[in-house]
A and B are shown apart, each in its own frame.
Chain A
Amino acid sequence: MNIVYFLLPLALFLGLSFLGAFVYFSWRGQFDDLDTPAHRILLDDDEQVKIINAKSNMKGSTT
């Protein structure tokens, strides 16, 4: 059962670090608007598509 003394703090550490991330992002305003992103994700943004394409092209050229 000694493994518990290792696993328990590890589990707590993991849990608490995620909690920390949640608290941090809450204060940054990540969860202020829960409606719009759900709609925005549905839209194809031509500019964004272009940027992504440009980026992937750049990656393609460097490798």
Chain B
Amino acid sequence: MLFQLKFKRVWRPVVKFTRHPSLSQTLAYSVQLNICTMTRALALQTVCVHCGSFFSTSTSQQFCCAGCEFVYGLITASGLDHYYKLKDDSPPLCPLPVVSSTANYDYCDDLVYQKTLSSDGRKLRFYIEGLNCTACLWLLEKLPKFCPDAEFARVDMSTSIIEVTRVANGSFAEIARTLNRFGYRPHPLSETDNSAKLQTRERRQDLVRIGIAGALTGNIMILAVSLYGGATGELASEFRWLSAELAAPVLSYCAWPFYRSALSAIRAKHLNLDVPIVVAILAGILMSCWNLITSIEHVYFDSLSMLVFLLLSSRLILRTIQNQQLRSTHLENELLLGEVRRITLSGTAEVVSSLALAVDDKIKIDVDRIIPVDGYVVSGEGTISAAVLTGESLPLSVRVGDYVEAGSQVLSGDWTLEVKNLPAQTRLAQILRDTETSSREKSNFIHFADRIASWFVVLVFLSALAVIGYFWETDMVEGASRALTLLIVTCPCVFGIAIPLSMSLAIRNAAKQGIIIKNGDSIERLWDTQTIVLDKTGTLTTGAMDAVCVAKTKDCDFSYALGLEQNQTHPVARAISRYLKDLGVAAQLFNDVRPLASGGVSGEMNGHSYVLRPVSNRSDSHTEALMITTAGMSETQKPYVNHNILQSDIGFFKNDQLVAKFALGDKLREESAPLISWIRRQGFDVAMVSGDRDRVVQACAQYIGLQRSEIYSEVIPEDKAKFIRSLGQGTVMIGDGVNDAMALAAADVGIAVCGSLDVSLRVADIYLTRNHLRLIPQLLSIARFTKGAIVRNLVFSACFNFISGTFAILGLMTPLWAAVLMPLSSITIVLSTVWTGNKIAKASVTL
């Protein structure tokens, strides 16, 4: 439609200028023809009606995938079309592409499980993936409308949590399934989880502290203005007493977190930022009280409460931004809790939670589910993907007697597993435990700011003591006044406000671009980046098995191939039919599709026989002939050139004659090669570590431009972590999957890419929410900008503190001036930080 409009705009003037009617017609016709062929060649980009993503099609298809079409049907059938009107304004990345998971969430209805989650059994909270915009909010809060089991739903967008109340006897499993059907993947959250409750409590308390500090400081300032303005006599002394009374709660209750932190720092024989702040506050209180009692004019309650208020606010902002990031409390559920079908003694299957299993139980697991236990296959056969655990990109076939490890995903087949290790004893669980230990060790990082602050604090204290010592004999009051001036004016606001603010702005800017940084530490650690280590499967590649036609004859008709494959469940068949559907091929329906004993399928139509079966790689003679025709293939093949080709191809035969050949593999991301060259340009070392087979890893390395010495293949998860540790300081690991989890935790900075398994999200410091490696240079540039801002602020602050400190020591400045100058310097620093923050937000990096 859109295209037609554009087309008209283009060719109308052409018609105008050609006077001769028949000539203009011919011209128009030829233009149209050209455009038609062009369109076919470029595979016109269309916008999916449901998810708004672009996709190529040559037909008038409206949806990018069957999932989107299904959800669109669901939404319109429930009379909720309004969703699409609301969605018009939202960012294009808004709803998730539909996760075609067959998860049935039956464990949500498990009574034992429910008890651990919900206090009254009526409400359950889910962490929702894909909740992004107003339209999502609208749709999800309409849940009772299309899910009769739900009575009420409330969404919290800041944490991506939906709280659902079920109707009496309603099923949480059904609610979870409904959410999943709509493309929002739910993760049940534990309500008895104390950390979440504590966090809410803490946040409320912080807010109250700031509220009180702000309100009272405002009032104290009003009183202070009249004092500075020259109020004298009885009224002035009243005002001083009143400001003391108002400041009391600010300097006690509101400033309590500083006292507590300073006290614990002193106990640990360590100096942190709060120590000088607390000393300045206490000294200020003492001097002000002394002056108040002896009726000397200067009291400093205004500047002290202002200081407390500013510090509290900046810290709350920082914490709020950090807490908004992904909370990892729900992550265990996904892996260790799943439902399985247990075969009872009578031979029937019952659905149970994986926690209810015992050793030697016989279980079946549905296709697409993650296997929660280790065990042996006792009957049947099928395929699994061990990509999560080993990084192996091809499906593995399993048959009776094979040992299957927890964490593998069932791809096809109907088979029974005998449980050997319960979820908690599996190798996967062991990896998770090790990973957690090493990520705890990492948090002992000493902040850059803290390191400098300690020196700064010692210096200021020594100077203040020296000043007091100098005046000890002669003029005690003058000495104390100068020391206090020094303490107030050199208040380390650059450490207390500017550095946390820079960090929080960096975190927020990163989040806007789809990078979730769990804490500011990782930004600091990114400054020391020396080596970037990448995983292959799922990081440099898309992680899903894809098929691509590498060669075909001219008269090959794919519609027969699609007809053969479209109803097959084997992962290879699914990959091929997905690829053909993307090309816009319409299927020819076969009456009878027969599986071949050697693998593959065959069918007959109109007297011709069609076969799809594995063929040996490149070497066979048919290929030579086919490759010649490939050379002339159209542009549409280009994006697939980067395909890494594996050892077995699938051949498509017509009457025993090879007419097309499909390669299977894990497609490399388009941005992988540019990323590698970008890393090289930045002067970092690069390495690729994969658990996949050497052959595949090498082929992959060749395409993206890595040297033989930079790739490590067939590495088990434990060795990945060892390798990372052996690299020493400044190692950044980028990966996904459980097989990278240990390495992510071991690295100085672990970055998990979109689509990673929850385990890696839990241990990674940084998580990319958009499926594009472009975010990695973006992230490094944010880190660099932030460092620049911090260094600039430090230099400014050092100059300011040196000059003003000298003035204070020489007695050229009164405590009043110090109280005025200090906030001014803070404001300068804050403005400079915010300015840099805005610059970062605008900066974009291209690969």
Residues of A that sit less than 8 Å from B by CB: 1, 4, 8, 11-12, 15-16, 18-19, 22-23, 26-27, 29, 31-36, 39-40, 42-43
Q: How far is the CB of A47 from chain B (nearest CB, A)?
A: 10
Segment of B206-214, B530-538, B560-568, B742-750 engaged in the interface with chain A:
B206-214
The reply to whether B204 and A32 form a contact with Cβ atoms under 8 Å apart is yes
B219: chain A residues within 8 A (beta carbon): 11-12, 15
**Which listed residue (A1, A12, A23, A33) contacts B211, Cβ 8 A?**
A23
Q: List, sorted by A's number, 7 A–B pairs whose CB atoms are closer than 8 Å.
A: A1-B235, A11-B219, A23-B208, A33-B156, A33-B158, A39-B134, A43-B138
Within 8 A of A (CB), among B194-250: 200, 203-204, 207-208, 211-212, 215-216, 218-219, 235, 242
Extra contacts besides A29-B200, A32-B200, A35-B157 (11): CB < 8 Å = A12-B219, A19-B211, A19-B215, A23-B212, A26-B207, A31-B204, A35-B156, A36-B158, A42-B134, A43-B86, A43-B138
**Which listed residue (B141, B204, B242) contacts A27, Cβ 8 A?**
B204
The reply to whether B208 and A18 form a contact with Cβ atoms under 8 Å apart is no
Taken together as a complex, chains A and B put the C-alpha atoms of A57 and B157 apart, in Å, by 35
Q: How far is the CB of A45 from chain B (nearest CB, A)?
A: 9
The reply to whether B157 and A33 form a contact with Cβ atoms under 8 Å apart is yes
Taken together as a complex, chains A and B put the C-alpha atoms of A16 and B508 apart, in Å, by 34
Taken together as a complex, chains A and B put the C-alpha atoms of A1 and B158 apart, in Å, by 51
A26: chain B residues within 8 A (beta carbon): 204, 207-208, 211
B208: chain A residues within 8 A (beta carbon): 22-23, 26-27
The reply to whether B215 and A15 form a contact with Cβ atoms under 8 Å apart is yes
Taken together as a complex, chains A and B put the C-alpha atoms of A29 and B219 apart, in Å, by 26
Whether B279 is near chain A, meaning CB under 8 Å from some CB there, is no
The reply to whether B211 and A22 form a contact with Cβ atoms under 8 Å apart is yes
Whether B155 is near chain A, meaning CB under 8 Å from some CB there, is yes
Q: How far is the CB of B634 from chain A (nearest CB, A)?
A: 46
B158: chain A residues within 8 A (beta carbon): 33-36
B242: chain A residues within 8 A (beta carbon): 8
The reply to whether B204 and A29 form a contact with Cβ atoms under 8 Å apart is yes
Taken together as a complex, chains A and B put the C-alpha atoms of A35 and B141 apart, in Å, by 15
**Which listed residue (A4, A18, A34) contacts B235, Cβ 8 A?**
A4
Residues of B that sit less than 8 Å from A by CB: 86, 133-134, 137-138, 141, 155-159, 200, 203-204, 207-208, 211-212, 215-216, 218-219, 235, 242
The reply to whether A43 and B134 form a contact with Cβ atoms under 8 Å apart is yes
**Which listed residue (A19, A35, A40) contacts B212, Cβ 8 A?**
A19
User: 6 closest Cβ contacts across the A-B interface?
Assistant: A35-B158, A36-B157, A35-B157, A39-B134, A19-B215, A33-B156
The reply to whether A43 and B137 form a contact with Cβ atoms under 8 Å apart is yes
Residue of A nearest to B212 (CB): A19
A22: chain B residues within 8 A (beta carbon): 208, 211, 215
Taken together as a complex, chains A and B put the C-alpha atoms of A61 and B86 apart, in Å, by 36
Prevailing SS type, chain A contact patch: helix
Taken together as a complex, chains A and B put the C-alpha atoms of A31 and B159 apart, in Å, by 13
B203: chain A residues within 8 A (beta carbon): 32
A12: chain B residues within 8 A (beta carbon): 219
Residue of A nearest to B158 (CB): A35
Q: How far is the CB of A38 from chain B (nearest CB, A)?
A: 9
Q: How far is the CB of A15 from chain B (nearest CB, A)?
A: 6
A18: chain B residues within 8 A (beta carbon): 215
B200: chain A residues within 8 A (beta carbon): 29, 32
Residue of A nearest to B138 (CB): A43
Q: How far is the CB of B220 from chain A (nearest CB, A)?
A: 11
B157: chain A residues within 8 A (beta carbon): 33, 35-36, 39
Taken together as a complex, chains A and B put the C-alpha atoms of A29 and B163 apart, in Å, by 15
Taken together as a complex, chains A and B put the C-alpha atoms of A43 and B235 apart, in Å, by 54
The reply to whether A36 and B155 form a contact with Cβ atoms under 8 Å apart is yes
**Which listed residue (B207, B212, B218) contacts A31, Cβ 8 A?**
B207
B137: chain A residues within 8 A (beta carbon): 36, 39-40, 43
A40: chain B residues within 8 A (beta carbon): 137, 141
A15: chain B residues within 8 A (beta carbon): 215, 218-219
A33: chain B residues within 8 A (beta carbon): 156-159
Residue of A nearest to B156 (CB): A33
Q: How far is the CB of A42 from chain B (nearest CB, A)?
A: 6
Q: How far is the CB of B404 from chain A (nearest CB, A)?
A: 43
Taken together as a complex, chains A and B put the C-alpha atoms of A26 and B211 apart, in Å, by 9
Taken together as a complex, chains A and B put the C-alpha atoms of A15 and B220 apart, in Å, by 12
B215: chain A residues within 8 A (beta carbon): 15-16, 18-19, 22
Residue of A nearest to B215 (CB): A19
Taken together as a complex, chains A and B put the C-alpha atoms of A32 and B311 apart, in Å, by 21
Q: How far is the CB of B180 from chain A (nearest CB, A)?
A: 22
B156: chain A residues within 8 A (beta carbon): 32-33, 35-36
A23: chain B residues within 8 A (beta carbon): 208, 211-212
A35: chain B residues within 8 A (beta carbon): 156-158
B141: chain A residues within 8 A (beta carbon): 40
Taken together as a complex, chains A and B put the C-alpha atoms of A16 and B218 apart, in Å, by 12
Residue of A nearest to B200 (CB): A32
B134: chain A residues within 8 A (beta carbon): 39, 42-43
Residue of B nearest to A5 (CB): B238
Taken together as a complex, chains A and B put the C-alpha atoms of A19 and B158 apart, in Å, by 26
B138: chain A residues within 8 A (beta carbon): 43
Residue of B nearest to A28 (CB): B204
B207: chain A residues within 8 A (beta carbon): 26, 31
Taken together as a complex, chains A and B put the C-alpha atoms of A16 and B645 apart, in Å, by 73
A39: chain B residues within 8 A (beta carbon): 133-134, 137, 157
A19: chain B residues within 8 A (beta carbon): 211-212, 215-216
Q: How far is the CB of B203 from chain A (nearest CB, A)?
A: 7
B159: chain A residues within 8 A (beta carbon): 33
Taken together as a complex, chains A and B put the C-alpha atoms of A8 and B219 apart, in Å, by 10
A36: chain B residues within 8 A (beta carbon): 137, 155-158
A34: chain B residues within 8 A (beta carbon): 158
Taken together as a complex, chains A and B put the C-alpha atoms of A26 and B208 apart, in Å, by 7
Residue of B nearest to A18 (CB): B215
Q: How far is the CB of A8 from chain B (nearest CB, A)?
A: 8
A29: chain B residues within 8 A (beta carbon): 200, 204
Q: How far is the CB of A48 from chain B (nearest CB, A)?
A: 12
Taken together as a complex, chains A and B put the C-alpha atoms of A31 and B203 apart, in Å, by 9
Taken together as a complex, chains A and B put the C-alpha atoms of A48 and B422 apart, in Å, by 51
Residue of A nearest to B154 (CB): A36
A1: chain B residues within 8 A (beta carbon): 235
Residue of A nearest to B86 (CB): A43
Taken together as a complex, chains A and B put the C-alpha atoms of A36 and B138 apart, in Å, by 11
Q: How far is the CB of A52 from chain B (nearest CB, A)?
A: 18
